[in-house]
Structure 1
Amino acid sequence: MSEPFIDDHLLVRYRELLDAEDQAFSEMEHDFEEGDAQRFALDREAWLAAIRHRVSFLDACGLVRLDVVVS
Structure 2
Amino acid sequence: MTLPAVLDDHALRRYRELLDAEDAAFDELEHACEDGDRDHFELDFAAWQRALAAKLDFLQRLGISLPEPARAG
Query: Under a length normalisation based on structure 1, what TM-score does the superposition of the two structures give?
Result: 0.85
Richer in helix (by share): 1
The gaps in structure 2 that reach 5 residues or longer are none
| Structure 2 residue 61 is the aligned partner of structure 1 residue 60 | yes
Shift of 1:69: 5.0
Give the superposed CA RMSD: 1.8
Query: What does residue 16 of structure 2 align with?
Result: 15
User: What 5-or-longer segments of structure 1 have no aligned partner?
Assistant: none
The one-character-per-residue Cα deviations of 1:43-66 (angstroms, maximum 9, x if unpaired) are 00000110100000000010126x
Matched residues, number = 67
Q: Distance in 1 between matches of 2:33 and 2:11?
A: 33
TM-score normalised to structure 2 length: 0.82
